[in-house]
């Protein structure tokens, strides 16, 4: 099938940009196709979702989408150069867009409307991107299942979290690209569970201004798309977003450049015993081994090395909870509106964690980060390869129940949380479908700090030889009676 025969929303961002700039496609036509597909595949947004629905979207505003698409067409007609001009982008329900609802998928913020744009939307809209809608998050990003969203590959399973809605939207062809946040793996985990690609940049390379936080020293923002090549386009614009504040002295660096084409021959790719943890699912481990062999076949040198010690889960949880509870203290009078597991985890209005415990945890975090940084430099590592999530998509339905796990002991986050601790960049990409489960599995490439463009180049080169699985819509309606047993390609 020729590229021009591919339905627009099944094409990648780079191909869409080419079609828009050549005027083979209009932004208005693309927006219309997007709204029609959302209606067909996701249905009207609901708070709780339904067993037979994807329900990726928290808020839609068709008038805004159409108005911005028309403006993009005018820019394209006048010679706009940005590859994002006219591209619909979905936003996790944490990023502010002035005049539109911003609720973190929570009744705590029901009726809240943003009064100003977030830094990331300022950058994206300035490049001509079109608002596609806000996607569901696990409530306040405080968990890994986003149970109100169904995984397009099998609606009985979770899309992952906390950015579950955006991963489901991209996987099901309802948006070419989306933007989410990542505090313990919330960009990478749903990408792995839904068979798409994502990138978590080095800490501080994307401004979090105007974003509802979970834990301010662990939060990152990053893109998700079908391929890493598409993520790279978005990341350039995101990393140029201005920051109004700079509490840790990490902003103000140049935007992350476009990755150069790279041959993997001679690169040093590390593996460690972390990948052999007992909780790693057999399908996940098979995918990891498969991608390791692809790297080897492309000429990369695979080196097995002992890993530095990780930050104890208790220290990670201390940092996350201290920061999250500080933010959520403002909602103590609305505690009854949280979902049960989130209310127990966040504990709005609870006594603050002791400052000395928080500072000790941060000191140990700095030591862990320094050890990993030295490890990358001493061994001349281009990237570390490991599974993204230890498990495939779990069944949905109980993620918000009281007593559900969250934080550093969650098997979804046993690999990913390390790289929020260190702030190192991570490229997450699909590793195929599990032979046992039929569900997507994924791997991550981790780089030393500020090697974002090089890491993207490594991931793009790998993905050219190991492309993502192709999701095929089976025509099921978005209602509880239509849940398929499995949606295999």
Distance from C-alpha of 272 to C-alpha of 257, rounded to nearest angstrom: 29
Instruction: Indicate the average pLDDT of the chain.
Output: 93
Judged against a pLDDT cut of 90, whether residue 431 lies above it is answered with yes
Judged against a pLDDT cut of 50, whether residue 214 lies above it is answered with yes
What DSSP assignment string belongs to 410-429? -TTSTTTHHHHHH---EEEE
Q: What is the pTM of this model?
A: 0.95
> Could you say which of 42, 92, 163, 437 is catalytic?
92
**CB 221, CB 179: distance < 8 Å:** yes
The whole-number pLDDT of residue 407 equals: 47
| Residue 350 DSSP code | P
- Which residues make beta-bridge pairs with 88? 130
How much is the average pLDDT of 247-268?
Answer: 81
The whole-number pLDDT of residue 241 equals: 83
How much is the average pLDDT of 257-282?
Answer: 96
How much is the average pLDDT of 362-385?
Answer: 98
The whole-number pLDDT of residue 406 equals: 57
How much is the average pLDDT of 137-145?
Answer: 96
- Which range among 1-15, 347-361, 403-417 has the greatest average pLDDT? 347-361
- Which residues make beta-bridge pairs with 101? 113
Q: Which has more pLDDT, 188 or 481?
A: 188
**CB 102, CB 325: distance < 8 Å:** no
The whole-number pLDDT of residue 476 equals: 56
The whole-number pLDDT of residue 251 equals: 54
What DSSP assignment string belongs to 157-213? EE--SSSHHHHHHHHTTS-SEEEEEESSSTTHHHHHHHT-EEEEPSTTSS--TTB--
How much is the average pLDDT of 49-77?
Answer: 97
For residue 304, name the pLDDT band (cuts at 50, 70, 90): very high
200 part of the active site? no
Distance from C-alpha of 324 to C-alpha of 316, rounded to nearest angstrom: 12
186 part of the active site? yes
Judged against a pLDDT cut of 70, whether residue 481 lies above it is answered with no
Phi, psi of 39 (to 5 degrees): -60, -35
Reduced to 3 states, what is the DSSP secondary structure of residue 439?
Answer: coil
At the top level of CATH, which class does the domain 3-243+251-482 belong to?
alpha beta
**CB 194, CB 153: distance < 8 Å:** yes
162 part of the active site? yes
Share of the chain above pLDDT 70, in %: 93
| Residue 360 DSSP code | H
Q: Is the peptide bond before 34 cis (omega within 30 degrees of 0)?
A: no
Phi, psi of 200 (to 5 degrees): -100, 110
Cβ-count burial 77-95 (b if 16+ within 10 Å, e if not): eeebebbbbbbbbbbbbbb
Q: Which among 474, 483, 463, 36 has a CA at the least distance from the CA of 225? A: 463
Judged against a pLDDT cut of 60, whether residue 171 lies above it is answered with yes
Q: Which among 338, 348, 85, 447 has a CA at the least distance from the CA of 234? A: 85
Half-sphere exposure of 58 (CA within 13 A, CB side): 32
pLDDT per residue over 380-427, tens digit each? Answer: 999 999 999 999 999 999 999 987 765 445 889 999 999 999 999 999
Judged against a pLDDT cut of 70, whether residue 480 lies above it is answered with no
pLDDT per residue over 82-132, tens digit each? Answer: 999 999 999 999 999 999 999 999 999 999 999 999 999 999 999 999 999
> Could you say which of 162, 197, 389, 437 is catalytic?
162
- Which residues make beta-bridge pairs with 181? 221
CA angle 252, 253, 258 (to 5 degrees): 135
The whole-number pLDDT of residue 418 equals: 98
| Residue 310 DSSP code | P
**CB 103, CB 58: distance < 8 Å:** yes
Q: Which has more pLDDT, 408 or 357?
A: 357
Distance from C-alpha of 20 to C-alpha of 189, rounded to nearest angstrom: 31
For residue 437, name the pLDDT band (cuts at 50, 70, 90): very high
**CB 167, CB 159: distance < 8 Å:** yes
The whole-number pLDDT of residue 243 equals: 74
For residue 358, name the pLDDT band (cuts at 50, 70, 90): very high
Out of 80-84, 246-250, 326-330, least confident range? 246-250
Judged against a pLDDT cut of 50, whether residue 305 lies above it is answered with yes
Q: Which has more pLDDT, 433 or 253?
A: 433
Coarse DSSP helix, strand, coil percentages of the chain, rounded to the nearest 5 percent:
40, 15, 50
Only one residue has tokens 């190192």, namely 424
The whole-number pLDDT of residue 252 equals: 57
The whole-number pLDDT of residue 425 equals: 98
Distance from C-alpha of 206 to C-alpha of 135, rounded to nearest angstrom: 20
Judged against a pLDDT cut of 80, whether residue 51 lies above it is answered with yes
Q: Which among 485, 432, 481, 414 has a CA at the least distance from the CA of 51? A: 481
> Could you say which of 82, 106, 125, 186 is catalytic?
186
């Amino acid at each position: 099938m020729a590229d021009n025969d591919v339905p627009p929303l099944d094409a990648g961002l780079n191909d869409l940009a080419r079609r828009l700039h050549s005027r083979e496609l209009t932004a208005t036509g693309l927006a219309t196709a997007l709204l029609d597909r959302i209606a067909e595949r996701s249905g009207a947004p609901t708070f709780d979702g339904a067993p037979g629905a994807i329900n990726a979207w928290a808020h839609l505003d068709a008038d805004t989408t159409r108005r911005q698409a028309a403006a993009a067409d005018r820019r394209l007609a006048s010679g706009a150069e940005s590859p994002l001009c006219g591209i619909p982008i979905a936003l996790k329900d944490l990023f502010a867009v002035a005049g539109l609802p911003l609720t973190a998928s929570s009744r705590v913020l029901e009726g809240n409307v943003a009064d100003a744009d977030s830094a990331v939307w300022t950058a994206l809209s300035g490049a001509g991107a079109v608002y596609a809608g806000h996607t569901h998050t696990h409530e306040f990003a405080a968990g890994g299942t986003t149970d109100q969203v169904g995984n397009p590959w099998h609606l009985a399973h979770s899309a992952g979290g906390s950015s579950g809605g955006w991963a489901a939207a991209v996987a099901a062809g309802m948006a070419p690209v989306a933007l989410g946040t990542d505090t313990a793996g919330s960009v990478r985990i749903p990408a792995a569970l839904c068979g798409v690609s994502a990138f978590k940049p080095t800490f501080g390379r994307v401004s979090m201004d105007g974003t509802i936080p979970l834990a301010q020293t662990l939060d990152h923002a990053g893109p998700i798309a079908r391929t890493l090549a598409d993520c790279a386009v978005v990341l350039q614009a995101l990393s140029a977003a201005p920051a109004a504040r700079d509490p840790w002295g990490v902003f103000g660096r140049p935007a992350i450049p476009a990755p150069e084409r790279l041959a993997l021959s001679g690169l040093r790719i590390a593996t460690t015993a972390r990948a052999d943890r007992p909780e790693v699912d057999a399908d996940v481990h098979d995918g990891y081994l498969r991608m390791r062999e692809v790297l080897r076949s492309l000429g990369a040198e695979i080196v097995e090395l002992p890993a530095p010690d990780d930050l104890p889960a208790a220290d990670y949880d201390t940092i996350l909870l201290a920061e999250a509870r500080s933010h959520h203290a403002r909602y103590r009078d609305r505690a009854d509106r949280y979902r049960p597991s989130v209310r127990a985890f966040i504990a709005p209005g609870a006594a603050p964690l002791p400052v000395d415990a928080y500072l000790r945890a941060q000191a140990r975090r700095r030591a862990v980060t320094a050890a990993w940084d030295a490890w990358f430099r001493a061994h001349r590592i281009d990237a570390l390869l490991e599974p993204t999530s230890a498990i495939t998509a779990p069944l949905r339905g109980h993620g918000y129940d009281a007593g559900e796990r969250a934080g550093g002991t969650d098997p979804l986050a046993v690999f990913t949380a390390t790289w929020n601790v260190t702030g190192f960049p991570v490229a997450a990409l699909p590793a195929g479908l599990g032979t046992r489960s039929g569900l997507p599995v994924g791997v991550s490439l981790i780089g030393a700090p500020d090697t974002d463009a090089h890491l993207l180049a490594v991931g793009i080169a790998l993905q050219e030889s190991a492309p993502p699985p192709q999701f095929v819509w089976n025509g099921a309606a978005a209602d509880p009676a239509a849940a398929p047993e499995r949606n295999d390609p």
